[in-house]
Structure 1
Amino acid sequence: MVRFLAVLLSLLVAGGASVAQDTKAIIETFQRNFVRSSLGTKLELLREAAGYEGVDMGPLYETAVKFVLGNANLLESDPVMRDIAIVSAQMIRKYKYAPAAESLWDMFQTFRENAVRVPILQALGDTAQDNPRLIERLNAYLGAQTTLFRSGSQPDYPTLEACIEALGRLGDGSSFPVLFSAFVAGYKADLTRKAAEALAGLKGDYHGYLIQVIERNTALEKRAALDAGLSNQNFTGDQRAALAEAALTAGIQYSSGNAVETEAVRDMRYTAVRELTERKWQRASPAAIRHFYDVLSLYNRSQAPKSALLEAVACLGSMGTPEAAQTLALYLQLINTETEQGKVFDEQIVMAVIRNLGILGDKVAFDYLLYIGYLKYPDSIKKAAKDALQNLKW
Structure 2
Amino acid sequence: MKRSFILSLFLILAAAAVYSQTSQPSTTSPQTSPILSTLTAAFDRGDVNTKLQVMQRAAAQPADQMAPLYSHALDYVVDNAPDVKTNDTLYQIALTDVRGLAKAGDKSVLSQLWHLFLSVNDNTLRIAILDAVGELGKGDAQTVVNLNAWIQDTALSSQGGARPDQQVILSAVQNLAKIADSTSYPVFLHVILAQVSDTITAAAAKGLQGLSGDAAAASVDAMRHLDPAQWSYAAQYLLSSDQLDDATKSKFAAGVLGLAVDFKSSSAEQQLTLRNVRAILVRYLTQHPTPEAANPLVKNFNLTVQEFDTGRTTRDRLLESIAALGASGSDQAAARLSDYLNLLNTYTENDRSYDTQVVLAVINNLKTLGKQVAYQPLFYATLLKYPQRVLQAAQDALSALQK
TM-score by length of 1: 0.86
Indicate yes or no: 2:354 matched with 1:345: yes
Residue 241 of structure 1: aligned partner:
250
Work out the CA distance in 2 between the residues paired with 1:85 and 1:218.
40
Contact 1:122 1:162 in 2 (8 A): yes
Superposed counterparts of 1:154-169, under 5 Å: 154-169=163-178
Following TM superposition, by how much is the alpha carbon of 1:103 offset from its aligned partner in structure 2, in angstroms?
1.4
Residue 314 of structure 1: aligned partner:
323
Following TM superposition, by how much is the alpha carbon of 1:27 offset from its aligned partner in structure 2, in angstroms?
1.4
Work out the CA distance in 1 between the residues paired with 2:289 and 2:166.
46
| DSSP-derived class of the 1:56 partner | helix
Work out the CA distance in 1 between the residues paired with 2:293 and 2:195.
32
Work out the CA distance in 1 between the residues paired with 2:24 and 2:215.
46
Following TM superposition, by how much is the alpha carbon of 1:315 offset from its aligned partner in structure 2, in angstroms?
1.9
Cα deviation, 1:240-264, whole Å, max 9, x if unaligned, reads 3212211211222334577776555
RMSD: 3.2
Contact 1:176 1:202 in 2 (8 A): yes
* CA 52–322 in structure 1, closer or farther in 2 if over 3 Å, else same: closer
Aligned residues: 393
Superposed counterparts of 1:243-282, under 5 Å: 243-255=252-264, 265-282=274-291
Residue 44 of structure 2: aligned partner:
35
Letter in 1 for 2:303: D
Following TM superposition, by how much is the alpha carbon of 1:308 offset from its aligned partner in structure 2, in angstroms?
1.7
Following TM superposition, by how much is the alpha carbon of 1:310 offset from its aligned partner in structure 2, in angstroms?
1.0
- Which of 363, 366, 372 matches 1:354? 363
Work out the CA distance in 1 between the residues paired with 2:396 and 2:122.
74
Residue 114 of structure 1: aligned partner:
123
Contact 1:31 1:60 in 2 (8 A): yes
Structure 1: any 5+ residue segments left out of the alignment? none
* CA 247–55 in structure 1, closer or farther in 2 if over 3 Å, else same: closer
Cα deviation, 1:72-95, whole Å, max 9, x if unaligned, reads 47x466424444333321221233
Residue 199 of structure 1: aligned partner:
208
Work out the CA distance in 2 between the residues paired with 1:165 and 1:251.
32
* CA 151–368 in structure 1, closer or farther in 2 if over 3 Å, else same: same
- Which of 311, 330, 341 matches 1:302? 311
Contact 1:168 1:198 in 2 (8 A): yes
Deviates more, 1:34-43 or 1:230-239: 230-239
Residue 114 of structure 2: aligned partner:
105
Work out the CA distance in 2 between the residues paired with 1:64 and 1:375.
89
- Which of 84, 91, 94 matches 2:103? 94
Cα deviation, 1:31-54, whole Å, max 9, x if unaligned, reads 222122223432333234324457
Work out the CA distance in 2 between the residues paired with 1:371 and 1:45.
93
Superposed counterparts of 1:220-235, under 5 Å: 222-231=231-240
Following TM superposition, by how much is the alpha carbon of 1:200 offset from its aligned partner in structure 2, in angstroms?
3.8
| DSSP-derived class of the 1:103 partner | helix
Following TM superposition, by how much is the alpha carbon of 1:205 offset from its aligned partner in structure 2, in angstroms?
4.7
* CA 237–72 in structure 1, closer or farther in 2 if over 3 Å, else same: closer
Residue 70 of structure 1: aligned partner:
79
* CA 146–20 in structure 1, closer or farther in 2 if over 3 Å, else same: farther
Work out the CA distance in 2 between the residues paired with 1:262 and 1:322.
29
Following TM superposition, by how much is the alpha carbon of 1:138 offset from its aligned partner in structure 2, in angstroms?
0.8
Work out the CA distance in 2 between the residues paired with 1:295 and 1:121.
49
Work out the CA distance in 2 between the residues paired with 1:20 and 1:189.
54
Residue 391 of structure 1: aligned partner:
400
Superposed counterparts of 1:208-227, under 5 Å: 208-219=217-228, 222-227=231-236
Structure 2: any 5+ residue segments left out of the alignment? none
Superposed counterparts of 1:129-140, under 5 Å: 129-140=138-149
Contact 2:341 2:359 in 1 (8 A): yes
